């Protein structure tokens, strides 16, 4: 008979430690996974979304294009998210500008100020932008409007992620 016998007290300690460790890891692992998983998700940037705007109908006058990103994933949460862009033709090129004001994030409108009909206007604090998105000096916005990546497919406009304005 072996002399390394496990006493009842040791056996009970090992059992409690084993079961306790199992329960703690069972509790912590889902929390750790929950915290880390969104970081591991592939970003949607670089993808293009279809809009209802026909490219052939675009002119040199900016028009507002509204579109919806269906089942946009944010961690585990999926939802439909609506976006809009101001889009016009600049020669052969399509220009799509973000409507988000660079002052405090209000939505800008084309020709919203009667005294400056050929500019973008932000009604929140009277911010103004030129047609190419450049902020008018002396108004609150501190930078130009962002630009969308654009693509044409089957005659329709597709919009991608935003980037810094390359027209200014």
**Are 144 and 126 in contact, with CB atoms under 8 Å apart?**
no
Contact residues: ligand FES, CB under 6 A: 101, 103-104, 106, 122, 124-125, 127, 140-141
Edge to edge, what strands does the sheet with 127-129 contain?
Answer: 109-110, 120-122, 127-129
Q: How far is the CB of 28 from ligand FES (least distance, A)?
A: 44
Distance CA 20, CA 125 (A): 60
CA dist., res. 95 & res. 104, Å (int): 23
| Closer residue to ligand FES in complex, CB, 100/168 | 100
Smallest separation, CB 81 to ligand FES (Å): 21
Q: Between 88 and 127, whose beta carbon lies closer to ligand FES?
A: 127
DSSP assignment of 92-107: TEEEEE--B-TTT--B
Query: Please, which residue, 97 or 122, has the CB nearer to ligand FES?
Result: 122
Q: How far is the CB of 141 from ligand FES (least distance, A)?
A: 6
The distance of closest approach from Cβ of residue 127 to ligand FES in the complex, given in angstroms and rounded to an integer, is: 3
């Amino acid at each position: 008979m072996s002399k390394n016998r496990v006493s009842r007290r040791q056996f009970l300690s090992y059992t409690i430690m084993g079961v306790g460790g199992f329960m703690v890891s069972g509790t912590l692992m889902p929390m750790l996974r929950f915290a880390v998983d969104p970081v591991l998700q592939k970003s949607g940037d670089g993808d293009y979304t279809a809009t209802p705007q026909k490219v052939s109908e675009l002119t040199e006058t900016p028009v507002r294009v509204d579109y919806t990103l269906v089942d946009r994933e944010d961690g585990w949460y999926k939802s439909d998210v609506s976006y809009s862009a101001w889009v016009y033709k600049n020669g052969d090129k399509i220009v799509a500008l973000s409507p988000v004001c660079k002052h405090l994030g209000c939505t800008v409108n084309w020709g919203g100020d009667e005294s400056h009909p050929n500019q973008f206007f932000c009604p929140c604090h009277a911010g103004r932008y030129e047609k190419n998105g450049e902020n008018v000096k002396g108004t609150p916005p501190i930078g130009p409007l962002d630009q969308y990546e654009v693509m044409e497919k089957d005659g329709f406009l597709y919009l991608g992620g935003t980037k810094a304005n390359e027209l200014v």
